[in-house]
């Protein structure tokens, strides 16, 4: 059984920090940790601001149906280590299923490249 300690999404956002690189990735991460929040995700939203993103837990795969923009995706293990990355994931696509992933972070397209974020690095939510 995996346990991830993260404040529940209650109308506030978190900062996503790459502790391997000591660099902030995004400053406005919304938490989707209930069935309905995970179900809706970013569907039907018009855009994602440059510093925004969504942390989806529990989750090991995503889709971009009913989305209007391209995103970058981080797949995290129980220790918030990045197991896989999908860059420039276009609308109406299905992401891969990542073995060992317990959470996903959806980010503005280009954020992975901009912050030099990579597989094997570890992130933290603050």
Domain boundaries, the chain: 16-125
Q: What is the pTM for the complete model shown? A: 0.86
Q: Which of 123, 56, 63 is nearest to 97 (CA)?
A: 63
Mean pLDDT across 75-86: 98
Beta bridge partners of 71: 89, 108
Residues 22-72: tens digit of each pLDDT: 999 999 998 887 666 666 666 656 777 788 899 999 988 898 888 888 999
Residues 90-112: tens digit of each pLDDT: 999 999 999 999 999 999 999 99
DSSP line for 23-64: EEEEEEEEEE-SHHHHHHTTTT-S---TTEEEEESS-S--B-
Cβ 89 vs Cβ 70: under 8 Å: yes
The answer on pLDDT for 6 being more than 50 is no
> What 3-state DSSP class applies to 78?
coil
Could you tell me which CATH class the domain 16-125 is placed in? mainly beta
């Amino acid at each position: 059984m995996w346990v991830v300690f993260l404040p529940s999404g209650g109308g506030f956002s978190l900062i996503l920090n790459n502790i391997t690189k000591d660099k902030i990735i995004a400053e406005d991460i919304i938490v989707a940790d209930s069935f309905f929040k995970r179900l809706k995700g970013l569907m039907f939203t018009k855009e994602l601001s440059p510093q925004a993103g969504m942390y989806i837990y529990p989750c090991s795969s995503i889709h971009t149906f009913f989305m209007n923009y391209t995103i970058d995706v981080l797949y995290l293990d129980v220790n918030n280590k990045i197991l896989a990355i999908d860059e420039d994931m276009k609308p109406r696509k299905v992401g891969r299923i990542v073995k060992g992933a317990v959470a996903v972070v959806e980010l503005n397209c280009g954020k992975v490249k901009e912050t030099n974020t990579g597989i094997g690095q570890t992130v933290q939510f603050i």
